[in-house]
């Protein structure tokens, strides 16, 4: 099964160039979805979709467009859950794959953190994004695309 396309929640995605690189290498269409606040340029094999800047516009567009066989790259747990429900493969910006078994835990943790913040407690944010994270992402995406290509060729 070959990936139909790689759909990217591109507003705050730090690995857009790595996604474009892997998409070109495997001949998979990349769709970058972001608000009009982010300037992005179309390249061969890369489609840019810009939506209004309201809070959930990018998520809503992706949720309505994603299909089984697509790869979704997002750091939004809720959007990943919608992607999984539609049969897509979902990755974090650090290259970890969201699964049906991990997404419930992540959503529950997000809810608990939001409750803590509302009560006045604050937690640390995510670790700074590193070059190692960038390389791990590219390695994971390349490995996934290679695997999907091999399945298709059998």
Q: 112-151 pLDDT, tens per residue?
A: 566 666 777 766 667 889 999 999 999 999 999 999 998 8
Number of Cβ within 10 Å of residue 142's Cβ equals: 16
Q: Which helix (H) or strand (E) holds 5?
A: strand 5-9
Q: Residue 107: phi, psi to the nearest 5? A: -65, -40
Residue 119's pLDDT is 73
SS3 2: coil
Global pTM reads: 0.84
Tens digits of residue pLDDT in 87-114: 999 999 999 898 888 766 555 565 556 6
Specify the pairing of strand 89-91 against strand 71-73: parallel
Cα separation, 119 vs 131, whole angstroms: 35
Residue 120's pLDDT is 73
């Amino acid at each position: 099964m070959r990936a139909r396309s790689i759909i990217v929640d591109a507003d705050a995605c730090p690995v857009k160039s790595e996604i474009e690189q892997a998409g070109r290498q495997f001949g998979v269409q990349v769709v970058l979805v972001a608000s009009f606040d982010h300037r992005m340029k179309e390249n061969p094999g890369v489609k840019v979709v810009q939506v209004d800047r309201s809070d959930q516009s990018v998520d809503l567009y992706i949720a309505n467009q994603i299909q089984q066989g697509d790869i979704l790259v997002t750091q939004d747990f809720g959007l990943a859950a919608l992607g999984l429900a539609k049969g897509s493969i979902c990755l974090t910006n650090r290259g970890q794959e969201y699964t049906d078994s991990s997404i419930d835990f992540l959503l529950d943790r997000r809810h608990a953190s939001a409750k803590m913040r509302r009560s006045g407690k604050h937690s640390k944010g995510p670790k700074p994004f590193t070059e190692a994270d960038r390389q791990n992402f590219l390695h994971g995406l390349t490995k996934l695309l290679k695997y999907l290509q091999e399945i298709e060729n059998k």
